[in-house]
Amino acid sequence: MKDSKKIKWRGEIISIQPRTTVWRYVIDNRTHSHIGYNLFVDGEADLECKTYSVAISEKQQQKHMFCIGDKVEGTAWTKINEVTDYADYYRAGGFKIIEHAEQLIKDVPPPYRMTPPDMATYEWRGARMLAKTCWKGKCFQCVWATMAAVEIEYNWGVSRKYRFESFCYGPKSCRFYKMGKPRAVPYKDRGTSYDEGWLDEIISENRGFDD
């Protein structure tokens, strides 16, 4: 862990995704929690020019209605723990919209580059595993894609392992979707099990093929 410091940031929003955490226990449980949004920004942060991500709350998104193409500035804090949150900066505030996007994106989806829905919608839809190559490529600007911070219960109540995994809340009919390889879920003295996707069907069972 490291010390956190307050920074100033500004730039253009290039993607907005749900901020999700996932708890894994062997292959019997994969619990998703939805705690806000990650703004991906191309601009300046802490006096450096770069692309970075800023964690915001659901209330902040509902107030400002950020969308792709908005130019924004604000403050935030560097994260303390590198493995428990994907965003580069959190505890964001002091927002100022420098310039709204000139017009809504009218491209025929996918990707779905609309204003993101609320957390309850993500919760209801449920997520499927998404290949990291998809997340980094055609799915990056989609509001249904996420890079989640994953906590693996490795030795119950004693130790955990951490990593990041990409997921998709989008329509099952999406032509861009690929699950990717099964994901290893280790547990102490049991070796490694693999999530081969059958949990996806359970978690997303509320919706149909085109929902």
**Residue of 33, 35, 88, 81 whose CA lies nearest to 60:** 35
41 by Cβ neighbours in 10 Å (0-12 / 13-18 / 19+) ranks as: buried
Spell out the residues 6+ positions from residue 24 whose beta carbon is closer than 8 angstroms to its own.
30, 150, 151, 152, 153, 185, 195
pLDDT at 1 over 60: no
Alpha-carbon gap, residue 175 to 189, rounded angstroms:
40
| pLDDT at 57 > cutoff 80 | yes
Is residue 87 within 8 Å of 55, Cβ to Cβ? Answer: yes
Please report which helix (H) or strand (E) contains residue 119, including its range.
helix 119-125
- Residue type (1 letter), 77: W
Q: Name the pLDDT band for 108 (thresholds 50, 70, 90).
A: confident
Per-residue pLDDT reduced to its tens digit, 180-199 = 999 999 999 988 999 999 99
Cα separation, 196 vs 184, whole angstroms: 9
Whether the per-residue pLDDT at 83 is higher than 80: the answer is: yes
User: In terms of C-beta density within 10 A (0-12 exposed, 13-18 middle, 19 or more buried), how is residue 140 classed?
Assistant: middle
The domain segmentation of the chain, as residue ranges, is 6-203
Alpha helices in the chain (DSSP H): 58-64, 119-125, 132-136, 198-203
Give the C-alpha separation, 195 to 184, whole Å: 6
Tell me what pLDDT residue 75 has. Answer: 98
Q: Give Dmax (Cα) for the chain.
A: 56
158: number of Cβ within 10 Å = 8
Strand partners, 184: 194
Least confident of 14-18, 49-53, 103-107: 103-107
- The predicted structure's pLDDT at residue 22: 97
Tell me which of 101 and 66 has the higher pLDDT: 66
CB atoms within 10 A of CB 102: 6
What pLDDT was estimated at residue 175?
96
Strand partners, 23: 31, 151
For residue 169 the two structure tokens come to: 């809340």
DSSP per residue, 171-211: -TT-TT----S-EEEEETTTEEEEE-SHHHHHHTTTS-TT-
Place of tokens 């998404």: 130
